[in-house]
Structure 1
Amino acid sequence: MPVYLKRALTIDEIFERVRLYDLVLTVDAPLADALNARIESPLLGVFATTPRRLAYRILDEAEDASGDQRELFLDIITKTGTGWKSAIYFLENTISCWQETGDRQNILKYPAFDRGEVQDIVSILGRGINPFNSVEKYNIDSGLKVAVVALHQFTGLDRRILPPKYDEIPVFHNEDTELENMCLFSSATAIIQTVMDNLSHLNPLDVAVVVKPEGNYQHLLKSSLKSARIPYMVSPDIMEDEDVRTFFLCIRTALSRANLRLRDVWPIMAHLGIDDIEKNGNQLLDTADNGQVDHIRRLLDRIPGSDFRKVLKEYESFTGNRMSELEKILGELEILDTPVDIGSVNAVEYYLGSFNITTGSSGSGVLIASPDTTTYIDRPVIFYIGMDAAWTHVIPDRPWISRHTFNDVKLNNFQLLLQNGQKRYYLVQDRIMGRNVTPCYYFNELADQPVESFTDLEYEMYTGIHEHSIKNPFSCSRSECMTEHEDMISQSELNLLAYCPKDLFFSRLLDDEDNRYFLRGRLLHEFAEFYVDHADFIRSRDLQELIDLMTERMHFYLDEKDMEIERTRFLIGISNIREFLDPLLEHLRSFEIHGYEKRYSPNLFVSHYNRPLRSSVTEMYFSNPDSGTKGKIDLILDKETLLDYKTGKKRSITELIRKSDTVDIAPRPDFQAKMYLSHHRRIYPDIDLKFRYFHILDNLEDVISSGNTSSRPNIKDLFQEIIYHSCSFDDLVVTREMYDDLTDGVADSNPVVKVLKKIGYENYRNFFALNPVPFVDEQDPDYTEEFISYVKGIIGDYKYVTRGCERILGKMANLRRSSYFPEDLDEFDAFLHDQIRKLNQYKEGRFPSGDAEMDNIRYRDLVILW
């Protein structure tokens, strides 16, 4: 649908209407600067200015406002002794009420603020000279011809400066104009790439980008501009300064020094340019043997017990970067000699965050402007990025602010903002993480119908890499590149690909973080593999020797307390593995299997004891381009049974089956059992198969609680099994075996037994042969009623019939939900080939995010950002 805006006057049109006035007032400082820039002949005095500039500059020649809110805050805490947070809260509300109503005393009319602290603040604000009472007291020379531009933007306090006579200059024509089309993109990077492509043919001084400062777009934009060495100007908040953030991060990290791991100091190292470090983030900082890490340790060790002044000097000495702006602020707060602790750091960060302290515009070039504070932009080419719900101004919950007036002002400002420049481009994302992006609320006010998505507006969709031409900035061209075609994928990669393809992309770019949990599991896997070949040798070794070997491999991650816990885990894990494997060793050593191969993979015990591995049933690899499968199975027990060692959380079989659904993809799906059984049935197509999970550490708490080995829990409780039936579910249901299984171990008085015994196998088979069970998550009530009627027609209407029939169908549904059948693996094979096709397609274009929940994505931050 089209969106119509009230047609705004351009800055040039406004200038033509005000150029003959003596004084032009606007509350929009960039508009005042733009009007002044258009004066061609020398002019005495002030032409275009803001009320604050006019009043405060004349009364105090320091235009950089030595009496701003921070100065007032410092005055308040010095004179009243009010706590920092209370002083900031009451000051913000007092000034807000003053600006809105034009009278600072009005704040005391509200019961929540009629209190001593606020009365003191009101009194302090009235004394001396500050930007607010300067506006209130200033009188404009009655002989001046005054023009007021955009009067709707003037607050109650701003209007106090207006003379009795002035001319209001409208900023809108008496007609509407249609908003140009939205340009829809699939990702933030595509938007930023478009801007960058076009900037290569533009003068940076001619371009502005309107973007929310706290969103991903601005971070991407600034990084891209820096990389391309394109100058830009922005007024950054001091808390956006990397040195300031790293400074406080160093303090917080140092104050929690015990048991720090490398990952805890990576952000510090990254900012300081230290990249020659161990990649293992879970390694204890104190165990890392690296000169660069030593520097970080020394810095952190010097912080506890120091004051802010000493920590600043240490940081400056370490980095070579001056922290003069932060030092000045800490000096104003009179806390340079205050010891650093969590309380003082929290207070300083709260102060810095509350006052939005900027460090001044950086450089010149592309102007990066915020939609929160900008209305007029004096640049010919403007890119508007995002324009989502974050652009909507939240109405402050303050009783003196009219919701209606607030919305009207912001809606008018929004219309003015969107009409700056000679060329305008509105770059937005259609979807993020599989969900529609909600446009800014003001589009609803300007359109005839509700706007829930950017596709509700007039738009053009763009994809790919964009040509370097502002004349046609969004036409698409592709760079030709060769990508390697893939015909197989592992189950772990399939899990990522099916749920969030972009997560797979980043998993291939980045090394998985090696941590204690993965390493513990790998060591137990390696022990199990080694034990099959060398059980006698292992039995001859002292058990503590094996545990020492394994914990030594993990010492980088473990402090003294964790070391004892880990030793217990290894002791119980080794014991469980040996108890499981000992009765099977002779069979495993003589068993041969086809369709798999033995490949070299690192093994701690092989390298330490220098003994080879020869078993053809442990850690066996498979790869089949025809089926698209590849992987490694931990143990092949026999031709019917595959086994996988697990050291993580134990899940129910029903949950595991659900996580392998190829239609309704679950968060963190698990296709391991399906893929491995799919491969194995190609080797043994006509037999039932089993995929067994051995949860090596699942009895950890029970063993510890038992206190001795004689009462160890039953190892059988550590196993779970998914069965693959070689016949279809419908065929299985009508077999005699199924009929017998339904009554196996069930008392004769059970309704299930009564029903089945009385109707007999032939009647049972006839019904289900003609009426296949409709498998759904819940029993189909119509089908259930049909079965009940059939049974009653044979044996009569008895109370137990209904209950017995429902239980029979319930057992069938449970079987269907907890087993695989040929139709499941056939569906999986088709799904797998489709996913591989998509993978190769994504490699030619870009990987989408999919319809995924952020909390279930491994590389969540990267997926969201890119």
Structure 2
Amino acid sequence: MVSFRQSKPIGRLYHEVADYDLVIVPDSPLADALNRRLERPHFGPFAITPRRLATRRRETAEDRTAFLEVIDETDLSWKEIAYTVGNVLQCWEYRGSADAILEYDPFDTPATRTVVDIVSSLQTSSRLLEDYEIDVGAAKSVAVVGERQLTNLERSVLPDEYDSIDRFTEDTFGLPAFRIFESPAAIVDAILDTVTRDNADDIGIVLDSSSEYSPLIESALETAEIPYYGGPGFMDDRDHRAFVQLLRCTTAGSDTRVQSVKPLLSCLGATVPVEHDEKRLADADDPETDWLREFIGRADTLTFEETLNAYEDRTGRTLESFRDELDRLGLLAEPITTGAIDRLGFYLETYEVPIDRNNEGVLLADAKSASFVDRPIVFYLGLDEDWTHDSPNRPWVDRDEEYERNIDGFQSLLQSGVERNYLVQDAAGGSPITPCLYFDELVEAEFERFSDLESRRYVRTGRSTGDGFDREPLDADVEPERVETISQSSLNTYANSPRDYCFGRLVETPDKDYFVEGNLFHDFAEFVVNNPGFVDDACLEEVVDAMIEETRAFHRTIDLETQRTRYRIGLETICDYLDEHAPADTTFLTPSSGWGANFFAEYFDRDVDSPATERWFEDGDLRLKGKIDLVQSPTQLVDFKSGNRNSASQVTNHASIDEPSDKPNFQALCYLTYWRRQQPDESLEFTFFHFLETLEDVVAGDATLEDCLTTITYHPVAFDEFVQSRTVFDELREDAANDCNKTFSKTDYETYLAVFDAYNVPRTRDADEMADSPFGEALVERLVDDVGDYKYVRNGCMQAFRHLCSYRKAGYFVEDLDAFERFVDEQLEELNRYRRGEDRFPIDGRAGEPNYRYVNNRDMLLTDTRPTRDGSQSTQAEETLAADAVDSEVNR
């Protein structure tokens, strides 16, 4: 049940006060609305707020005016001034006099007394309001509308006799149903279905000005070329923001990254490719950054005015209002320093600088400032807990009275307009959105979210739902290009998050330090293979110098020596490995299989034409493609890695198909699957060479190459056939753990083989699981009968199970690669189904929620989940422009 009191329509309220000479109201929008309805000639003000009546001018932000005066007359810090001025003015508002604050001991300070003396002497609206008395001779009849919403200072102007007019009736207001949407973007879309340039003057939109709705609705109206006012402030001007960022750049230091100054560069007319985003601005090798870098280099000799002049000259735009504000603050002639910039930033964050507005078009009203909107059609956006006022926590504030005042304003605000639309979200991030606190007071029913109250859902779909909003269907005649082959890196990304994979095809990504470094290391390895004996100590030092220059833009100057050591050790480790494992027997390889340019080949003007390095493949039958770093021999492949080393068990675990890993990596599987086609019926090895793994060990002097290597094997037989071979039996007798060797040394191969004849060995990596299987139980029973029921026999069998499972942890068998081939086909068919638009690319991968450490487009995966009408989960990502771009891509 709703206990909202019925607010009097503006027409009725006007007729109740029309015969009065003077009408006092609590806020300007209500005064303007009554004045617009005045039907008779009237001398002087009719409906007016107390402050406007006392000052005879539009209300201004007196806290800013007082602040500017105090900084001119005192040496107090700007933060202390702002804090003290705020307290003095607030206490004045609630107590009715400027020096009332001195009655509170914690606030009776020298700074407060100084501010009280200065502010009391200014012609602020509070000063004028305190001294003002209504001329009862000129205003013989006075009405006060919404008296409870007036503060003590405002009430001080009231005459002894006046009529109090209630803003509410005794009736109850029937709150319309909330309209629940899936996201802020969907709410904005719904508004744009209604608002046009022709009806803009009839529309009011109430929102929390600090919420995400504010920039969304402003951007949408600008894009649609629909006029509006009441929204953007002084610092919403892009040139104002850019100029402040230019100031901060001058003292930010040499580690400033290009990405952090992209908005500034854009305002300066510079377009810098995404690839430079993560580079240091000081070393970015793009001419578009030249002006900014040169300016920063001489900024320590400039004043604020000279900096502003330079910005205006560069952009061709004039910032007169910003110049005026710097002049008021006394900053124009000051040199640029960190302290001065911080003071300016504090001022702009604390006070709203007034700007001239054209009061035309859609009215944007702040939910915490307005109590009335005089528009026939009003949209209320959000209505969540952010609409609740923060009552001042000061001893001069009666918080109960303040709460009642806010309740009245809230009730009045929600009844503005003839047609009212309450557009809300019900949940975000899997949690309900809490409605505004005032609903607890005004709605008698128990509720936690908007859907617990009378509401209707609106869902954006590709088809009409009757009560939703249609989306224009994509052209069904466009046949998307099929993906026929996939690389191991793309497969990894797709397995982690199909949505991230798709965005990776749409969005350019910046160069990363580890990408650039990795490519240089790979190029060096290829160069060494192709030029054995060329690299000596002098050459190696030159290579390090070249790598430092190529990566300088990514690293702080202080880190360069550390990087130099790291590069030198990595390069030496590569040389050591290739000295011991130079490629052998490459005659079987085709000669023209190189891939791309090689930095060091061009640097030293040498050839890199060995068929054993950087070998590109693309197999249409397997649907796989990739690049093999080194073919060491007909049965050995090597991949150079700059990252941390994984064990063979971790590698095979991350490539698991049956039990998906949250760190999917199919590289070894992919390359072995391809290479077995080249070398059928051969045992193969794929080695990861982590050349930086022993960095600390090299420094300590005890590094070994073996610590850098992880080798995955492929056995060209089935697992069950392999483990029952004589070779494996002999390993159990000689190369396994002690109790296993002892146990199997006392039995024969025929006894071991008999268990395989009776039972199938499970394809598992878990020794306990193998032990609990019929095969495991039978093997234990057979060995106990054959060797004896001793503790070491049972323990030896357990060690045997671990040994057998280790083969699957460290390598692959025929059935594993066969399964991977089927897996690739399945993933590509699924991917192509998404590309055809039959469903959206999901965010969750094969292991569920993506592992965000391996996500490349994290900002685009908006994972705040919320229930849909059918009970499933949708995400914010499905309601963003970026998500719509995915749909366009898959149908392109």
User: For the superposition of Structure 1 and Structure 2, which TM-score range results when normalised by the shorter chain?
Assistant: 0.7 to 0.9
Distance in structure 2 (CA, Å) of the matches to 1:21 and 1:798: 109
- Would the aligned equivalents of 1:779 and 1:813 in 2 still touch at CA under 8 Å? no
Aligned in 2, Cα 1:611/1:747: closer, same or farther, shift over 3 Å?
A: closer
- Residues 504-547 of structure 1, C-alpha deviations (whole Å, 9 max, x = no match): 44433333212443222112212323443443566799444545
Distance in structure 2 (CA, Å) of the matches to 1:13 and 1:483: 62
- Residues 477-518 of structure 1, C-alpha deviations (whole Å, 9 max, x = no match): 324263624334444444444555554444333332124432
User: Which residue of 305, 309, 318 corresponds with 1:309?
Assistant: 305
* Paired residues, number: 845
Structure 2 residue 716 is matched with structure 1 residue 717: no
Distance in structure 2 (CA, Å) of the matches to 1:732 and 1:103: 95
Percentage identity across paired residues of the two chains: 29
User: Which residue of 364, 367, 374 corresponds with 1:368?
Assistant: 364
Distance in structure 2 (CA, Å) of the matches to 1:790 and 1:144: 110
Structure 2 residue 179 is matched with structure 1 residue 182: yes
What does 1:558-573 correspond to in 2, within 5 Å? 567-573=564-570
Q: CA deviation at 1:120?
A: 3.9
Structure 2 residue 643 is matched with structure 1 residue 648: yes
Distance in structure 2 (CA, Å) of the matches to 1:753 and 1:151: 96
Other-structure match for 2:81: 87
Q: CA deviation at 1:271?
A: 1.3
Q: Is the partner of 2:529 in helix, strand or coil?
A: helix
- Residues 7-62 of structure 1, C-alpha deviations (whole Å, 9 max, x = no match): 5444444434443443333333222222222224332222222232223x2xxx44
- Would the aligned equivalents of 1:235 and 1:358 in 2 still touch at CA under 8 Å? no
Q: CA deviation at 1:738?
A: 7.6
Other-structure match for 2:627: 632
Other-structure match for 1:336: 332
What does 1:217-616 correspond to in 2, within 5 Å? 217-256=213-252, 258=254, 262-263=258-259, 265-275=261-271, 279-281=275-277, 285=281, 292-361=288-357, 364-394=360-390, 396-398=392-394, 409-410=405-406, 413-428=409-424, 435-436=430-431, 438-442=433-437, 445=440, 446=443, 448-451=445-448, 458-464=455-461, 474-480=469-475, 482=478, 484-487=480-483, 488-535=485-532, 542-547=539-544, 550=547, 553-554=550-551, 567-587=564-584, 589-592=586-589, 598=593, 600-607=595-602, 614-616=609-611
Aligned in 2, Cα 1:798/1:600: closer, same or farther, shift over 3 Å?
A: closer
Amino acid at match of 1:95: L
- Residues 757-802 of structure 1, C-alpha deviations (whole Å, 9 max, x = no match): 99998699699969969989x9899979x99999799699999999
Other-structure match for 1:702: 697
Structure 1 stretch displaced more, 40-49 or 285-294: 285-294
Structure 2 residue 203 is matched with structure 1 residue 207: yes
Distance in structure 1 (CA, Å) of the matches to 2:118 and 2:758: 89
Structure 1 stretch displaced more, 792-801 or 485-494: 792-801
- Would the aligned equivalents of 1:299 and 1:318 in 2 still touch at CA under 8 Å? no
Aligned in 2, Cα 1:560/1:476: closer, same or farther, shift over 3 Å?
A: closer
Structure 1 stretch displaced more, 756-765 or 379-388: 756-765
Structure 2 residue 42 is matched with structure 1 residue 43: yes
Aligned in 2, Cα 1:424/1:858: closer, same or farther, shift over 3 Å?
A: farther
- Would the aligned equivalents of 2:425 and 2:433 in 1 still touch at CA under 8 Å? no
Other-structure match for 2:32: 33
Q: CA deviation at 1:714?
A: 0.8
Q: Is the partner of 1:421 in helix, strand or coil?
A: coil
Distance in structure 2 (CA, Å) of the matches to 1:325 and 1:439: 40
Structure 1: where are the runs of 5+ without partners?
A: none
Other-structure match for 2:66: 72
Distance in structure 1 (CA, Å) of the matches to 2:415 and 2:110: 47
Q: Is the partner of 1:720 in helix, strand or coil?
A: strand
Other-structure match for 2:867: none
- Would the aligned equivalents of 1:667 and 1:856 in 2 still touch at CA under 8 Å? no
Aligned in 2, Cα 1:369/1:834: closer, same or farther, shift over 3 Å?
A: farther
Distance in structure 1 (CA, Å) of the matches to 2:744 and 2:16: 96
Distance in structure 1 (CA, Å) of the matches to 2:650 and 2:390: 43
Distance in structure 1 (CA, Å) of the matches to 2:403 and 2:721: 67
Q: CA deviation at 1:367?
A: 2.6
Q: CA deviation at 1:248?
A: 2.0
Amino acid at match of 2:251: L
Amino acid at match of 2:304: F
Amino acid at match of 2:150: F
Q: CA deviation at 1:245?
A: 1.9
Amino acid at match of 1:693: F
Distance in structure 1 (CA, Å) of the matches to 2:677 and 2:454: 52
Other-structure match for 2:14: 15
- Would the aligned equivalents of 2:752 and 2:779 in 1 still touch at CA under 8 Å? no
- Would the aligned equivalents of 1:235 and 1:359 in 2 still touch at CA under 8 Å? no
Distance in structure 1 (CA, Å) of the matches to 2:117 and 2:758: 89
Amino acid at match of 2:244: F
Aligned in 2, Cα 1:81/1:539: closer, same or farther, shift over 3 Å?
A: closer
Distance in structure 2 (CA, Å) of the matches to 1:738 and 1:589: 31
What does 1:150-189 correspond to in 2, within 5 Å? 150-151=146-147, 153-163=149-159, 165-171=162-168, 174-185=171-182, 188-189=184-185
Q: What value does the CA root-mean-square deviation take over the aligned residues?
A: 5.0
- Would the aligned equivalents of 1:483 and 1:844 in 2 still touch at CA under 8 Å? no
Distance in structure 2 (CA, Å) of the matches to 1:130 and 1:438: 41
Amino acid at match of 2:296: L
- Would the aligned equivalents of 2:765 and 2:806 in 1 still touch at CA under 8 Å? no
Distance in structure 1 (CA, Å) of the matches to 2:11 and 2:734: 91
Amino acid at match of 2:574: I
User: Which residue of 90, 96, 100 corresponds with 2:90?
Assistant: 96
Normalized against structure 2, the TM-score is what? Answer: 0.78
Normalized against structure 1, the TM-score is what? Answer: 0.80
Distance in structure 2 (CA, Å) of the matches to 1:49 and 1:265: 47
- Would the aligned equivalents of 2:304 and 2:335 in 1 still touch at CA under 8 Å? yes
Q: Is the partner of 2:586 in helix, strand or coil?
A: helix
- Would the aligned equivalents of 1:678 and 1:829 in 2 still touch at CA under 8 Å? no
Q: Is the partner of 1:177 in helix, strand or coil?
A: coil
Q: CA deviation at 1:246?
A: 1.6
Q: Is the partner of 2:218 in helix, strand or coil?
A: helix
- Residues 247-271 of structure 1, C-alpha deviations (whole Å, 9 max, x = no match): 2211221224546564454332111
Structure 2: where are the runs of 5+ without partners?
A: 863-879, 882-892
